[in-house]
């Protein structure tokens, strides 16, 4: 079976032809880098991932994690590649080398991580999750906290987490009951119980740094009274050495549908002694600080779903090329006709092209967000920076929710291509589907992302940010109209884009009317519609580039470029009309889901 994770030719296309990452070499931050270095980093990531990480994927799933007396052991096969990942400095690629990073653009980091994280998310997440913890400390910590924690978190020497969820609160963070009492020495004593904590305890690092949401004793109710604290597993002395164990204990691990090798733990703070923590930032500002990490985490979850989909699609393509079954339709009545690869059958080709369109559209979408981050750090024009920040804020819930949904859908379609074999553990697509499903649930369910999009993001700056987003699509439409052979596709996307604006305005008005609940019943369908239009945008953008290069391309590239045009044609002519029908439903906004009584759902 071929060892596949991601499509290098397509990565290079997005990186160098669509996003044009080389434009950042003109900025001082990256002036010592060049294209060859970018290509080498991605190549080395690919080699390391295939050789060291990918072999642990199925084995880690079978072995899972083991909990015993407050300690957790990860699969034995994880220890060597984890050590090599830290030694190779793969944990914080886009951060400054002074704090343990590699100082490369976000878009190049995304390309490398397609292989690293795509080979085995459960394994690599132990090494990389501390990056989010370190970023919060970099942005909001004291100089002493930065010196004590940042580099060891960025380099993966110490692990990181996020202790947010509680059993009685769930997504209602304001209902949390974990408390913090200030001590005379300026530290805080924390007491509480947290659940669903990724990497809360494991045996890969000597220390784990836990950011913990808690309410200072006597603090305001709701989210306004929440603070955030740095709680080390092992207390860190002022000189950076490790002291005594802190009273933060793992009380159990969850048995899950997928990502079996990823620890999902329950954590108890202060149940057997004193759990000490350091205030991060100011009291009562915990939610603001946490959301810096949460927004990055939501983008990472969309990326996680996409890389599962990428691998599943490539496995399905390879299987379809090799699996012989049935006669070609042109020879269906000829009993002596030989069996053909199933990729010859029309319905299989349709499924594969559906997967291809979504995988490539998601890749471009995610790299586009990375491109916005790079501009934020490099651009000198403050208006350009503001535009990029606005687009990132608007599109974050769409990346998270849409990629989670379509990523899982691609994995399911891959199983369908395999047929009965896809439903067995003999082939990897079964595990990919199980592992992918969590992405629509954690870091804020997809329904919450849709509510965020409708309730907050669409109205940013009185709707000007959303209009600027529509204008970005309009730029691609204008380019495609000037490209031979793409005028019809451009016209169809233009109509869909205009309609998206109409639907957004109508839904926004409904949300401000007495029909508020009706509007939010259609928040998820609207996010799905917006995601479809973005896919069409990305694919038409790709087709425009391909069409402009195809005549002067080498033979091997002609096939690739022709595929880009056909993929855009398939999506815009086959899937986008369905999206238009969804728009009709949102515009009609049937109140049935709100008006039906709870008893009518049955089950009583």
pLDDT digits (tens, 9 = 90+) for 484-536: 999 999 999 999 999 999 999 999 999 999 999 999 999 999 999 999 999 99
pLDDT-based confidence at 221, cuts 50/70/90? confident
How confident is the model over 546-561, as a mean pLDDT?
94
H-state helical runs in 6-96: 8-12, 35-48, 56-63, 79-87
Least confident of 263-277, 374-388, 426-440: 374-388
Tens of pLDDT, residue by residue over 344-362, are 999 999 999 999 999 999 9
Between strands 208-216 and 159-160, the pairing is parallel
Helix (H) / strand (E) containing 277: strand 275-279
Averaged confidence pLDDT in the chain: 95
- Three-state DSSP at 231 gives strand
Which residues 6+ apart lie within 8 Å of 178 measured at CB?
Answer: 163, 166, 190, 191, 192, 193, 194, 212, 213, 214, 215, 269
Q: Which residue in 52, 138, 193, 443 is the catalytic one?
A: 443
Q: Identify which of 301, 582, 584 has the alpha carbon closest to the alpha carbon of residue 435.
A: 301
Active site residue 443: yes
Please give the helix or strand (H or E) that residue 456 lies within, else none: none
Strand partners, 275: 190
The pLDDT score that the predictor gives to residue 312 is 98
Sequential DSSP letters for 142-154 = -HHHIIIIIHHHH
Q: What is the pLDDT of residue 356?
A: 98
Residue 463 confidence (pLDDT): 96
Rounded to whole angstroms, the Cα distance separating 255 from 261 reads 10
Residue in the block written with tokens 């080699």? 47
CA dihedral for 246, 248, 253, 256, sign (positive or negative): negative
Query: pLDDT above 70 covers what percent of the chain?
Result: 99
- In this predicted structure, the answer to whether residue 174 has a pLDDT above a threshold of 80 is no
CA dist 19 and 12 (Å) reads 10
Q: What is the pLDDT of residue 2?
A: 57
Could you report the per-residue pLDDT of 183-219, keeping only the tens digit for each? 999 999 999 999 999 999 999 999 999 999 999 998 8
* pTM, entire model: 0.96
Query: Tens digits of per-residue pLDDT, 296-337?
Result: 899 999 999 999 999 999 999 999 999 999 999 999 889 999
pLDDT at 379: 84
CB 266 within 8 A of CB 250: yes
Structure confidence at residue 3 (pLDDT):
65
> Where is average pLDDT lowest: 13-27, 372-386, 565-579?
372-386
Q: Does 170 have pLDDT greater than 80?
A: no
Distance CA 21, CA 7 (A): 18
Nearest residue to 179 (alpha-carbon basis) of 313, 286, 48: 286
* CA distances to 277, 442, 444, 481 from 165, in Å: 18, 10, 11, 49
pLDDT of residue 175: 82
Tens of pLDDT, residue by residue over 238-293, are: 999 999 999 999 999 999 999 999 999 999 999 998 999 999 999 999 998 988 88
In this structure, the chain runs to a length of 604
What six digits make up the tokens of 365?
A: 């979408």
DSSP code for 220: P
Instruction: Work out the angle at residue 464's Cα, subtended by the Cα atoms of residues 459 and 467, and round it to the nearest 5 degrees.
Output: 100
- Look up residue 215 and give its two tokens: 């309410």
Q: Which residues are within 8 A (CB) of 142 and not within 5 positions of it... i.e. 6 or more apart? A: none
Please state, in angstroms and rounded to a whole number, the distance separating the CA atoms of residues 539 and 362.
9
């Amino acid at each position: 079976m071929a060892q596949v994770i991601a499509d290098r030719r397509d990565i290079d296309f997005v990186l160098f032809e669509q996003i044009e990452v080389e434009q950042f070499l003109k900025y001082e931050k990256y002036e010592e880098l060049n294209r060859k270095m970018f290509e080498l980093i991605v190549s080395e990531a690919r080699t390391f991932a295939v050789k060291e990480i990918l072999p642990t994927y199925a084995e880690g799933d079978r072995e899972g994690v083991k909990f015993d007396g407050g300690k957790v052991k990860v699969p034995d096969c994880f220890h060597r590649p984890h050590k090599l990942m830290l030694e190779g400095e793969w944990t914080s690629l886009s951060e400054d080398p002074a704090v343990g990073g590699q100082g490369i653009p976000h878009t190049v980091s995304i390309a490398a991580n397609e292989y690293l994280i795509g080979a085995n998310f459960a394994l690599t997440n132990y090494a990389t999750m501390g990056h989010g913890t370190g970023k919060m400390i970099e942005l909001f910590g004291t100089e002493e906290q930065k010196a004590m924690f940042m580099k060891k978190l960025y380099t993966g020497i110490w692990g990181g987490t996020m202790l947010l969820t509680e059993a009685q609160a769930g997504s209602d963070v304001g209902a949390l009951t974990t408390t913090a009492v200030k001590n005379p020495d300026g530290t805080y004593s924390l007491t509480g119980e947290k659940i669903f904590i990724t990497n809360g305890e494991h045996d890969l690092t000597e220390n784990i740094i836990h950011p913990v949401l808690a309410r200072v004793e006597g603090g305001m109710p709701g989210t306004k009274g929440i603070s955030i604290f740095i709680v080390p597993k092992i207390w860190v002395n002022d000189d950076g050495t490790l002291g005594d164990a802190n009273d933060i204990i793992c009380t159990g691990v969850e048995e899950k549908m997928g990502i079996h090798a990823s620890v999902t733990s329950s954590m108890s703070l202060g149940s057997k002694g004193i759990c000490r923590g350091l205030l991060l930032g100011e009291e009562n500002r915990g939610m603001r600080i946490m959301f810096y990490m949460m927004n990055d985490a939501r983008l990472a979850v969309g990326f996680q779903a996409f890389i599962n989909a990428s691998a599943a699609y490539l496995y399905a393509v390879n299987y379809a090329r090799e699996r012989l079954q049935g006669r070609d339709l042109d020879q269906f009545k000829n009993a002596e006709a030989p069996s053909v690869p199933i990729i010859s059958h029309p319905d299989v080709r349709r499924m594969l092209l559906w997967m291809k369109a979504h995988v490539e559209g998601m890749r471009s979408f995610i790299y586009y967000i990375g491109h916005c981050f790079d501009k934020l750090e490099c651009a000198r024009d403050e208006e350009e920076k503001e535009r990029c920040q606005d687009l990132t804020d608007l599109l974050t819930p769409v990346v998270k929710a849409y990629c989670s949904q379509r990523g899982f859908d691609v994995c399911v379609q891959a199983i369908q291509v395999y047929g009965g074999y896809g439903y067995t553990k003999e082939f990897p697509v079964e595990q990919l589907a199980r592992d992918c499903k969590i992405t629509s649930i954690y870091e804020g369910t997809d329904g919450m992302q849709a509510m965020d999009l409708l309730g907050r993001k669409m109205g940013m700056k009185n709707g000007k940010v959303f209009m600027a987003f529509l204008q970005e699509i309009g730029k691609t439409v204008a380019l495609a109209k000037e490209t031979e052979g793409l005028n019809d596709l451009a016209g169809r996307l233009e109509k869909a884009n205009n309609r998206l604006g109409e639907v957004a305005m109508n839904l926004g008005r409904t949300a401000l009317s007495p029909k508020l609940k009706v509007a939010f019943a259609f928040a998820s369908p609207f996010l799905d519609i917006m995601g479809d239009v973005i896919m069409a945008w990305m694919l038409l953008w790709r087709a425009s580039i391909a069409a402009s290069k195809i005549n002067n391309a080498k033979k091997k590239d002609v096939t690739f470029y022709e595929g880009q045009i056909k993929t855009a044609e398939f999506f815009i002519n086959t899937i986008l009309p369905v999206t238009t029908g969804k728009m009709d439903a949102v515009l009609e906004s049937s109140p049935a889901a709100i008006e039906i009584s709870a008893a009518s759902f049955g089950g009583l």
